[in-house]
Amino acid sequence: MSEQRITPRAEDYSQWYQDVIAQAGLAEAAEVVRGCMVIRPHGYAIWEKIQAELDARFKATGHKNAYFPLLIPLSFLAKEAQHVQGFAMECAVVTHTGLKAGPNGIELRNELEEPYVVRPTSETIIGHFFKKWIDSWRDLPLLLNQWCNIMRWELRTRIFLRTSEFLWQEGHTAHATHEEAREEVLRMLDVYREVCHDCLALPVIRGVKTASERFAGALETYCIESLMQDGKALQCGTSHDLGQNFGKAFDVTFQNQAGERQHVWQTSWGATTRLIGALVMMHSDDDGLVLPPRMAPVHVAIVPIYKTPEERGRVVGAAQEIAAALRADGRAVELDSRDDLRPGAKFFEWERKGVPLRLELGPRDLDERSVLAKVRLSEIDEKGRGKKLKLPLADLGVTVGKALDDFQGLLFRRAQERIQANTVFADTWDEFRALFRDQESKFVYAHWDGTAETEDAIKDETKATIRCLPIREDAPEKSFEPGRCVKTGRPSGRRVLFAKNY
């Protein structure tokens, strides 16, 4: 890995984000395919960790995985007018099959009788199959999840945060009553919150989207929102109450216990590879990627240090024993015994890749029955460097486990404190505008009169959007006091959460 400079956050946050991703080897732009990305092995390993945490929770709540076609007949989208309007500008459409050589090069061959849309989301095609599979109340609830890729033709892209193709999961469920469907919506929102808090060390706020930010075709959209280090908000997951809209569009009905036919009540919910971008922006620093241990593909990097062949044999042999013992404890360990790199270069590489814990082992350490340990973020010494701690080899597995658990907790607390320090209240328009001057942004609680016109006016003037109407458990009690709209002065029943966003 080349020792290229990472742009400091204070100098250019956007470039810093791209530099961290590049230097960690997470992903890169797919230059030959506009707007898409290549997720490299280190980045994909993080996605696999996220998948595993979510998938286990989906299955624990009764959901089963399935897979539906990538191509969706254009007529399917047209059945739900609001849905097709919401995705029309983002769709990629397949109109031909086959190629042929022509006088001007390769030409399209056979025009399709009906075009196919490359999957922007799957509510419509799943509605088609729900109609086939559901007949009676005994078939409900139907709880499915799909892991797949999505295509949305984005004009402005940024790796992980917004690309034309991305990976995600999309849950789709059908229920006999609206009450059951709403319970499902909130249950899955809580699953996302749990994974973000417990695994990604990513504090989030749960809330409801405004009508203008609602998923196309839904009655209600719930979301989880977080605040990145630059003060901009990032939506990290959504859960939608679809009501009976898609049930009616695709005539998905069931016979209830009274013998009557009714349309099903549906939900959908999803989280994407955007969560990797959230990890990068929430925890990383000017030295590179920082990963919470539960999301790290490598928990511990061991760097043996030696000068002579005799020392190498002794030290590497001991390092292999340490690595084997840590792996037996369930830790992912990399033993870096490459002879073509100096120790300093190895330290640099593992730090750039965000490995939570580095162990250094030399002849003197062996004599003292100890190792030197460096946590990716730790106390800072008088020279501004992270301190190295001497750990005894006895019970090293226990010590390493505690260090990783402590680091996981530290990252979550640091993130919470940063978000709290950048969450404020605004009561006047002058206060509000000042908080969003130039590139500045925070989480701002302010009153809103509930109209789309005012929402648009605020966005046009400040670039701040309503991220959500937070649920009571996730917001300060003060935010639920009535007041007057920060923009129009009209009555407002509660404050909503504003920020500039990605």
Give the number of domains in the chain: 3
260 and 327 fall within a common domain: no
Contacts of 67 (CB under 8 A, 6+ apart): 146, 147, 148
Q: What is the pLDDT of residue 3?
A: 66
Q: For residues 335 and 38, give the distance between their C-alpha atoms in angstroms, rounded to a whole number.
A: 27
235 and 344 fall within a common domain: no
Number of other CB atoms surrounding residue 257 within 10 Å: 9
Q: What is the pLDDT of residue 381?
A: 47
Q: Which residue has the tokens 């760097």?
A: 303
- The model's pLDDT over 3-14, given as tens digits with 9 standing for 90+, comes to 689 999 999 999
Q: For residues 215 and 123, give the distance between their C-alpha atoms in angstroms, rounded to a whole number.
A: 11
CA atoms within 13 A on the CB side of 433: 8
Which range, of 91-105, 244-258, 347-361, 404-418, averages the lowest pLDDT?
91-105
279 and 328 fall within a common domain: no
Residue 169 predicted with pLDDT over 90: yes
50 and 195 fall within a common domain: yes
Does residue 413 belong to any structural domain of this protein? no
228 and 316 fall within a common domain: no
State the average pLDDT over residues 134-155: 96
486, 495, 468: which is closest to 213 by C-alpha? 468
Say which CATH number the domain at 196 has.
3.30.930.10
Say which CATH number the domain at 428 has.
3.30.110.30
Q: What is the pLDDT of residue 379?
A: 53
Token pair, residue 161, equals 């945060």
277 and 323 fall within a common domain: no
Does residue 1 belong to any structural domain of this protein? no
What confidence tier does 383 reach under pLDDT thresholds 50, 70, 90?
A: very low
Number of other CB atoms surrounding residue 336 within 10 Å: 17
Please tell me the pTM assigned to this model.
Answer: 0.95
Q: For residues 464 and 458, give the distance between their C-alpha atoms in angstroms, rounded to a whole number.
A: 7
Say which CATH number the domain at 319 has.
3.40.50.800
User: 82 is in which domain, residue-wise?
Assistant: 13-283
45, 38, 50: which is closest to 271 by C-alpha? 50
455 and 368 fall within a common domain: no
Does residue 7 belong to any structural domain of this protein? no
State the average pLDDT over residues 235-241: 98
**Residue 363, preceding bond cis, omega within 30 degrees?**
no
Query: Reading across the β-sheet that carries 93-102, which strands appear in turn?
Result: 71-73, 105-118, 93-102
Q: For residues 9 and 19, give the distance between their C-alpha atoms in angstroms, rounded to a whole number.
A: 10
Residue 413 predicted with pLDDT over 90: yes
Q: For residues 191 and 203, give the distance between their C-alpha atoms in angstroms, rounded to a whole number.
A: 13
Residue 167 predicted with pLDDT over 90: yes
- The model's pLDDT over 44-65, given as tens digits with 9 standing for 90+, comes to 999 999 999 999 999 999 999 9
As a three-state string, the secondary structure of 318-385 is: HHHHHHHHHHHCCCCEEECCCCCCCHHHHHHHHHHCCCCEEEEECHHHHHCCEEEEEECCCCECCCCC
Does residue 5 belong to any structural domain of this protein? no
Average pLDDT, the chain: 95
Is the CB of residue 296 less than 8 Å from the CB of residue 356? yes
Token pair, residue 239, equals 């859960």
Cα 462 → chain centroid: 26
CA atoms within 13 A on the CB side of 184: 30
Residue 384 predicted with pLDDT over 60: no
261 and 398 fall within a common domain: no
20-58 burial, b if ≥16 CB within 10 A, otherwise e? bbbbbbbbebbeeeebbbebeebbbbbbebbeebbeebb
Token pair, residue 316, equals 């590497």
368 and 233 fall within a common domain: no
138 and 19 fall within a common domain: yes
388 and 460 fall within a common domain: no
Q: For residues 462 and 173, give the distance between their C-alpha atoms in angstroms, rounded to a whole number.
A: 38
Cα 497 to Cα 118, 195, 218, 480: the distances in Å are: 34, 22, 21, 11
State the average pLDDT over residues 438-447: 96
Alpha-helix runs per DSSP H in 226-273: 245-249
Is the CB of residue 448 less than 8 Å from the CB of residue 469? no
What confidence tier does 387 reach under pLDDT thresholds 50, 70, 90?
A: confident
